[in-house]
Amino acid sequence: VISVSVARPRTERPSNGGGRGGYNNSRRY
C-alpha cells in the first residue's frame, strides 16, 4: 500500500509521458 501510494504521485510528475503516470497526468487530465 505504501509503495503504490508514494510511487504513484511521484512517478506521475517526472514521467510526464513515460507511460505509467505520464498518460494519467498529461493525457487523461
Unique residue bearing C-alpha cell 505504501: 2
12 phi-psi bin (left φ>0, alpha ψ -120 to 50, beta other): alpha
pLDDT per position as a tens digit, 6-22: 556 555 555 444 545 55
DSSP-based three-state secondary structure for 20: coil
Q: What is the pLDDT of residue 29?
A: 46
Buried b (16+ CB within 10 A) or exposed e, 11-26: bbeebeeeeebbeebe
Q: Where are the domains of the chain?
A: 1-29
Quick one: pLDDT at residue 14?
Answer: 53
Give yes or no for residue 24 having a pLDDT over 50.
yes
